[in-house]
Structure 1
Amino acid sequence: MTIMLHLQTSGTPRELGKAHGRRLKAKICQLLDHYRHGLRDGTGGWRKGLDPESRRAFSLKRSEMIEHIYPEACEEIDGIATGSGLPYEDIWELNLIYELTDHHPACSVYGFQDCNGHSLLGKSDDLEALELGSNVLTCSEPKGVLKSLNMHFSGTIWTTCAVNEAGLAYGMTGLRAQHQNPKGIPTLFLLHLLVSRCETAVEVEHLCSEYQISTNGVSLLIGDATGDLMVLEKYTTGQATRRPGPRGAALWQTNHCCDANLREDEDRNSPTHQNSLDREANIVNLDGLVPRTLKGLMDLYRTHDAPGGLCQHGAGGLHTDTAIIMDPTEREMWVTEGYPCETEFVKRSISVR
């Protein structure tokens, strides 16, 4: 069973980062070693353009650009470096790893309104075997913005799912893209921004439209305390949203593009593309059988139907590190610490100021 890391932070962005770095130094070092192994060329050398000096120059150039768009991100990353005692450029390298290397998108989201009109959102978080245990369940109280329960990845400001005190919740899946935009911010940085500033699904849609992303796309399942529910897909070329039909109808997405107007930006060459198609086909088959309840959603994330089970144990090289269910109306998050088929969902709540 995976032992999930837990963290409580408060204060300025730099203070949030310092607490993160102090607590998670060992895991950060482990991840840096893991990713750098993948930058080798197989003969003991570095792949072209990925030697230490090139990575350092790239990281510093990107940090200077992002400073003008999202300065709080830079402050928090600097705090992680300070707290961990690791070089600033190493922490930036970790935060930018999906711009330095190929990204194999993963994770599945599924949600609906229950009989009370509450939006319930589910998300799996699928990782490589050597990444298991890197998720950090964080209770964050940033100074001057919204408090939240969120899932971070060790050493980074990536926020892959969250519930905040205003009753906004979201969970993400990755989408692989063909195009890059050097003027954009990393996709997972944008998600970090949303949870601290937005109170409704509509606000998320509007804020996302104000920012360009740099490389791979994202799909967001978003719900709020009013019962609103949507999926937002975003690539470097644009974004689109969709909402469910009659009450009880579900929304879902795995790791391929669903909006016809965005498909020209999709890269279908990911090794996990077939895995994504299999999971979507499985969801389509199971959708009518899923009770529109908290338990129904939990049980869906425990399925192993092959191919395409949402609880993955190595299919396509992916392992489900955790599954998360969110109820934005109640400001609750239910989380497994490890494969959802093997562990219980534990409730976490966030108080309203």
Structure 2
Amino acid sequence: MTIMFHLQTSGTPRELGKAHGRRLKAKICQLLDHYRHGFRDGTGGWRKDLDPESRRAFSLKRSEMIEHIYPEACEEIDGIATGSGLPYEDIWELNLIYELTDHHPACSVYGFQDCNGHSLLGKSDDLEAVELSSNVLTCSEPKGVLKSLNMHFSGTIWTTCAVNEAGLAYGMTGLRAQHQNPKGIPALFLVHLLVSRCETAVEVEHLCSEYQISTNGVSLLIGDATGDLMVLEKHTTGQATRRPGPRGAALWQTNHCCDANLREDEDRNSPTHQNSLDREANIVNLDGLVPRTLKGLMDLYRTHDAPGGLCQHGAGGLHTDTAIIMDPTEREMWVTEGYPCETEFVKRSISVR
């Protein structure tokens, strides 16, 4: 069983970051040691021994570019560095690993409307073995914006799934790209913005359309308190959405583009690409057998059908660190701390102000 960090934060973006950095310094150091050998110089060439000044120069350049688009992200990352007492460039490198390394996407999302018309959303979080126990369940009260219960990766501002006080919920999966867009921001920075700004799935769609991403896109399974449900794919070449058909029909996504127009820049050479295809095929086979209930969704994330089980124990180098079920109508999240087949889903709720 893995251990999940629990954190409560409030205040300005910098104050949120400082609280995160103080609590998680040891875990952040462990992750930095793991990733450092693979950091790039930002142009695609390997620089295993990039000196601190060169790394800092790159981090400053990238942060200055992002600050013009999303200044709150830069403030929060600065806060993590201050709170942890770690070098600024270390924390920025950790937040930019999807731009700086051949870090491969994982995770699966699946959701539907139940018999009451409530959207239920599921997400697995699949990590490398060395990354296990890096998730942070955070109750966040940012100053002047929406309160949320969300999942972060240690040392970063990434919000990989969330439920906010307005009744918006989402879970993400990663998508690989072949090229970078220097005018964009990291996809996981954009995902972080959504939970504090949006109240409905439609608002998420509109806000995402205002931003370009730099590389390695995301898919988002999004639901809200009205029962609306959609998948949004955001890639370097644009975005696309899809909604379910009749009541009870499900939506899902793994780690490859489903929209034909977005596949042009998709990197299909990722070592996890076949794993993604296997998981999707397994979901297709199981879909008609999944009861449209909370328990049905929980049981899906405990499956080990090979190939393509959603509870992964090393397939493709991936391990399921946690599974999360979200009910946006009730502002609830059900979370496992470890492999879903071995641990119980525990309910977490967010109060409405």
Q: Which bin holds the TM-score, normalised by the shorter protein?
A: over 0.9
CA distance in 2, matches of 1:221, 1:44: 30
1:137-156 deviation per Cα after TM superposition (whole angstroms, max 9, x unaligned): 00000000000000001010
1:283-334 deviation per Cα after TM superposition (whole angstroms, max 9, x unaligned): 0000000000000000000000000000000000000000000000000000
Contact 2:122 2:323 in 1 (8 A): yes
Aligned residues: 353
1:250-282 deviation per Cα after TM superposition (whole angstroms, max 9, x unaligned): 000000110011110111000000000000000
| 1:43–1:254 Cα change, 3 Å | closer
SS of 2:326's partner is strand
| 1:15–1:115 Cα change, 3 Å | same
Contact 2:168 2:199 in 1 (8 A): yes
CA apart distance, 1:57: 2.0
CA distance in 2, matches of 1:5, 1:62: 29
Structure 1: 4+ residue segments shifted above 3 A: 37-54
CA distance in 2, matches of 1:270, 1:52: 29
Contact 1:275 1:316 in 2 (8 A): yes
| 1:144–1:39 Cα change, 3 Å | closer
CA apart distance, 1:48: 6.4
CA distance in 1, matches of 2:281, 2:33: 36
| 1:86–1:41 Cα change, 3 Å | closer
Contact 1:106 1:127 in 2 (8 A): yes
SS of 1:45's partner is coil
1:157-193 deviation per Cα after TM superposition (whole angstroms, max 9, x unaligned): 0000000000000000000011211111111000110
CA RMSD of aligned residues (A): 2.4
Contact 1:232 1:242 in 2 (8 A): yes
| 1:27–1:329 Cα change, 3 Å | same
CA apart distance, 1:103: 2.4
Question: What does residue 265 of structure 1 align with?
Answer: 265
1:91-136 deviation per Cα after TM superposition (whole angstroms, max 9, x unaligned): 1111111111112110000000000000000000000000000000
1:34-69 deviation per Cα after TM superposition (whole angstroms, max 9, x unaligned): 101334999999736845443322211110011111
| 1:118–1:11 Cα change, 3 Å | same
CA distance in 1, matches of 2:186, 2:42: 28
1:55-87 deviation per Cα after TM superposition (whole angstroms, max 9, x unaligned): 322211110011111111111111111111111
CA apart distance, 1:236: 1.2
CA apart distance, 1:237: 1.0
Task: Please state if 1:223 is matched with 2:223.
Answer: yes
Q: Which one is further off, 68-77 or 296-305? A: 68-77
CA apart distance, 1:88: 1.3
CA distance in 2, matches of 1:107, 1:75: 28
CA distance in 2, matches of 1:40, 1:136: 26
| 1:276–1:86 Cα change, 3 Å | same
Contact 1:31 1:131 in 2 (8 A): yes
| 1:17–1:42 Cα change, 3 Å | closer
| 1:278–1:316 Cα change, 3 Å | same
Contact 1:56 1:93 in 2 (8 A): no
| 1:305–1:177 Cα change, 3 Å | same
SS of 2:68's partner is helix
Q: Which one is further off, 58-67 or 220-229? A: 58-67
| 1:245–1:153 Cα change, 3 Å | same
Q: Which runs of 5+ in 1 are unaligned?
A: none
Contact 1:49 1:55 in 2 (8 A): no
TM-score (norm 1): 0.97
Contact 2:41 2:58 in 1 (8 A): no
Contact 2:335 2:347 in 1 (8 A): yes
Q: Which one is further off, 29-38 or 238-247? A: 29-38
Contact 2:119 2:328 in 1 (8 A): yes
CA distance in 2, matches of 1:67, 1:341: 42
Contact 1:152 1:160 in 2 (8 A): yes
1:222-256 deviation per Cα after TM superposition (whole angstroms, max 9, x unaligned): 00000000000011110000000000000000001
